[in-house]
Amino acid sequence: MRKDDSSLSHAEREFVESRARMLLQRADAWGVVPVPIDDLLSAANLKVAPTSIFDPRAIAAYAIAKGKQAANLVKQAIGKVLGILDAHEEVIHIDDTVLESRQRFLKLHETGHFELPHQRKIFRFFEDSQEELDPSIADKFEREANNFARFAIFNGNAYAERAADLPLSFSSVKKMQRGFKVSLYAGLREYARTHRHVCIAMAIEKPAICPINGWSAEIRRVETSLSFEQQFGRPQLPTITKTHPLWPLVPFGKATRPTTIRLTDLDGEHHEFIGEALDTSYNILLFACPTTLFRS
């Protein structure tokens, strides 16, 4: 399973979300769906570089124009691959070869680095010095920026509130995803983590033959609703194999139609679920909820 990309303490999350809410309000975007990204950037006094710095020629041109400091900034930040914040120039560089839905999230992620005052101050300090940001601090900053972007792009609780009025199913996730202009991956994660009913979402790699366990699939992310976690716990396994209860959902084609599976709760009781899955080509997305709650 991939490294945690979003957990914060309650106080940390409240602060991050308060800053995102302030930006949405400054941009007159509170309650607007899909979120007008350009208005939020304007309200933050940020702009997106017109030419992607991820093009090797652009890196060279940027370094020539801005000098050694800018070249060092690019060199230090390039590990992020998809987005860079130049706090001094108040410019965001986004890899424009990724999907538009991903670019929207990246713009808000980099805006989060800029809008969170403790981050902006430290970023400017490190850009001016030869120091390197401690890995643990850098990791926390990434999680803060992810939560900032998440809160902004889903407009606070707007996504959860609209999802609650729709049938509990994968088809509802697809409908919501289009309305909010987010990736299906991001939409599914938000759907599962915020839904009031019992449900689980999982992103896995494509199945492969393992010499020890036979067919298996590496788990990338797991999201559960609070009610699911309270009743069933949170899966911690790094992979799912043919003996895992969710294995029947793994598609060996484009998708798995609604399929009945059985999950065991923390008290050892068995429950019937309906699950679906889709191979997006980037990853495989699984979703399951109790049969009694499923609506196609």
d(CA 171, CA 114): 36
Contact call for residues 223 and 189 (beta carbons, < 8 A):
yes
Which tokens hold the place of 42? 């304007």
Q: How many beta carbons lie within 10 A of that of residue 94, not counting itself?
A: 21
- Considering only 17-21, 58-62, 223-227, 279-283, which range has the smallest mean pLDDT? 58-62
Indicate the pLDDT class of residue 80, thresholds 50, 70 and 90. Answer: very low
* Nearest Cα to Cα of residue 110 among 179, 52, 66, 44: 44
d(CA 80, CA 167): 37
Element spanning 216, H or E: strand 214-224
Predicted pLDDT of residue 78: 45
pLDDT tens digits, 172-206: 999 999 999 999 999 999 999 999 999 999 999 99
Geometric angle at alpha carbon 86, from 80 and 87, rounded to 5°: 120
pLDDT tens digits, 33-61: 999 999 999 999 999 987 666 665 665 56
**Neighbouring C-alpha atoms within 13 Å toward the C-beta of 67:** 4
d(CA 201, CA 218): 14
In this prediction the pTM is 0.85
Which tokens hold the place of 90? 């108040």
Q: Measured between alpha carbons, how far apart are the two ends of the chain, in Å?
A: 30
Reduced to 3 states, what is the DSSP secondary structure of residue 278? Answer: strand
